[in-house]
């Protein structure tokens, strides 16, 4: 897989479920058991990216790297 294919999968993925609670939008994750140790380091946009990557079919480690470091890190993996 190349970088463009990765981006296409992310763009075509089903968006994560988001709920409103106390005036805030919160991302619902179904992989809590896999990311519970990383949650203290993740903000809501990172959690959104993680769940988006999982919805795109990527494994936990790739989704976590994408969530925490974004496109710049992922692009280096494909170069």
Q: How do residues 35-78 score in pLDDT, each as one tens digit? A: 888 777 788 889 999 999 999 999 998 898 888 887 676 667 67
Question: 4-42 pLDDT, tens per residue?
Answer: 898 899 999 999 999 999 998 888 887 788 888 877 778
Q: Are 56 and 9 in contact (CB under 8 A)?
A: yes
45-67 b/e (C-beta count within 10 Å ≥ 16 → b): ebbbbbbbbbbbebeeebbbbbb
Three-state secondary-structure class, residue 32: helix
């Amino acid at each position: 897989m190349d970088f463009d294919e990765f981006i296409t999968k992310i763009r075509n993925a089903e968006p994560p479920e988001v709920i409103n609670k106390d005036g805030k939008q919160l991302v619902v994750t179904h992989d809590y058991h896999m990311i519970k140790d990383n949650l203290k380091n993740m903000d809501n946009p990172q959690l959104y990216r993680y769940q988006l990557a999982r919805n795109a079919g990527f494994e936990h480690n790739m989704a976590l790297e994408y969530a925490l470091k974004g496109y710049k890190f992922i692009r280096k993996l494909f170069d």
